[in-house]
Amino acid sequence: MRKLAVIGDSHGNYEALKAVLEDADKQNVTDYVVLGDITNRGPEPAECVTALQKVDPLAWIIGNHENVYRNLLTHTFTNFAENPKAVMAIITSTYDYQHLGEAQFEWLSKRPLTAEVELEKIKFYLFHSTPNKCRGHFSFPTNTQENFDELMAHTDADMGIYGHTHRYLMRMTSDGRYIFNPGSVGMPVSDRLLISGQASYGLITVDNQRLISWEQRNVPYDLEQELKTARERQIPYYDLYEELLRTGKFTFNPEKVQAENQKRNYVKQALEDVEKF
Ligand SMILES: [Mn+2]
């Protein structure tokens, strides 16, 4: 019997990740996989990466936020000044670069897009948003069956696992296979149910080709301590971070980001920051 913890989208929220790793330990988890977006937006990217490296995950794939690191390192970020979220990506990635150091920043930027893991004769296929693109809205939970069939069209895996949407999902493909999204460790989102102050991750128990259980676990963590650390470290876009963590409603939309960019003169800073890579 093996117990697999599925961890994604901690987004630099180390208080949340710490609570998840403690819970996983209590649940006697035997194996870990990492779904990407482990850093960015929260105050403690390095602490998150180090803690996850310590549990020696079977697989660690790239998210869209680590993919921004890659674009910065390869100097492929151009014409961003008119795009509020691209400006934000540069500002928050520059914060991460300063806290992670060059080696960890580069290591994260080189994670693979997909991974396959076999446990107890059950094959899992991991990707962040889709198998060929780690960003976008293709795998949003309310999308049509066609999209979910497409996600699993080029693999014979028994279960697909992804993150990115920050929303929980359990679904079936037309040919009877499963797709699972455990939600987000650091920034879970729910439009109806209260999720604030909780960290979401997945726990899958398997035994000799049997799926014993698969669940999302919501673990309480110290939200006030997390926000205190964020203030002390003076993270960019703190107000949007606090509002999201307190309400569980997504705040990093283009309108709110643009207002912050104007208020804090972030476009000018991004133009300077992009030269640092
Ligand atoms: Mn993502």
Question: In the block, which residue shows the tokens 């500002």?
Answer: 91
**d(CA 111, ligand 1 centre) in Å:** 14
Token readout for 44 is 């403690």
Task: State the CB neighbour count (10 A cutoff) for residue 202.
Answer: 23
- Give the whole-angstrom CA distance, residue 179 versus residue 177: 7
DSSP letter at 137 equals S
Token readout for 209 is 């080709």
**Do 90 and 270 form a contact (C-beta atoms < 8 A)?**
yes
What is the band of 16 on the pLDDT scale with cuts at 50, 70, 90? very high
What is the band of 77 on the pLDDT scale with cuts at 50, 70, 90? confident
- Give the whole-angstrom CA distance, residue 62 versus residue 165: 14
Q: What is the CA radius of gyration of the chain?
A: 18
**d(CA 163, ligand 1 centre) in Å:** 7
**d(CA 39, ligand 1 centre) in Å:** 10
List, for residues 168-178, the tens digit of each pLDDT value. 999 999 999 99
Task: State the CB neighbour count (10 A cutoff) for residue 55.
Answer: 16
List, for residues 17-76, the tens digit of each pLDDT value. 999 999 999 999 999 999 999 999 999 999 999 999 999 999 999 999 999 999 999 999
> Exposure of 242 by Cβ count < 10 A (0-12 exposed, 13-18 middle, 19+ buried)?
middle
- Break the chain into its structural domains and give their ranges: 2-276
**d(CA 177, ligand 1 centre) in Å:** 23
DSSP letter at 126 equals E
> Exposure of 25 by Cβ count < 10 A (0-12 exposed, 13-18 middle, 19+ buried)?
exposed
Helices (H), the chain: 14-26, 45-54, 64-73, 84-100, 102-109, 145-151, 223-232, 238-247, 254-263, 266-273
List, for residues 117-128, the tens digit of each pLDDT value. 999 999 999 999
**d(CA 141, ligand 1 centre) in Å:** 14
Residue type, 244: L
Token readout for 97 is 């670069």
- Give the whole-angstrom CA distance, residue 107 versus residue 162: 21
Look up the pTM and report it.
0.97
List, for residues 186-231, the tens digit of each pLDDT value. 999 998 999 999 999 999 999 999 999 999 999 999 999 999 999 9
Token readout for 274 is 């992009």
**d(CA 202, ligand 1 centre) in Å:** 16
201 closest CA partner among 46, 52, 50: 52
The pLDDT assigned to 79 comes to 86
Domain formed by 2-276, architecture: 4-Layer Sandwich (3.60)
**Do 269 and 236 form a contact (C-beta atoms < 8 A)?**
no
**d(CA 84, ligand 1 centre) in Å:** 17
